[in-house]
Amino acid sequence: DGGITQSPKYLFRKEGQNVTLSCEQNLNHDAMYWYRQDPGQGLRLIYYSQIVNDFQKGDIAEGYSVSREKKESFPLTVTSAQKNPTAFYLCASSTGVGSYNEQFFGPGTRLTVL
């Protein structure tokens, strides 16, 4: 089945450790996105990528890094520089960035930093 997978669903880390969240899609989509969701707030864009080997900062990129070496994969690293990393992280993809292109979301990873 086509879709977006994120792993793991729940992740616990100690403060000061870097952690990488996985996002894979087999929809043949060009564009991929990472969002962060906190209680009472809308989804906020961390990074997005329109094409392989290219990515752009979103609204809250500080303390995060990404790579886009393959079309189907867009991993997100939460670094120790991120001051408040505990959140629900959602990965999404779309056929492209422009025009009518709905974003399809993965199931999310809930990260808790202890």
Partner 1 sequence: GQNIDQPTEMTATEGAIVQINCTYQTSGFNGLFWYQQHAGEAPTFLSYNVLDGLEEKGRFSSFLSRSKGYSYLLLKELQMKDSASYLCAVRDLWDYKLSFGAGTTVTVRA
Q: Between residues 14 and 84, which has the closer beta carbon with respect to partner 1? A: 84
CB of 35 to partner 1, least distance (A): 8
Site residues (CB under 8 A) for partner 1? Answer: 35, 40-45, 48, 58, 88, 90, 97-98, 100, 102-108, 110
**What is the DSSP annotation of 25-60?**
E-S--SEEEEEEE-TTS--EEEEEEEETTEEEE-SS
Q: Between residues 27 and 45, which has the closer beta carbon with respect to partner 1? A: 45
Who's near 65: CB < 8 A, 6+ residues apart?
A: 76, 77, 79
CB of 56 to partner 1, least distance (A): 8
Residue 85, both tokens: 């990393």
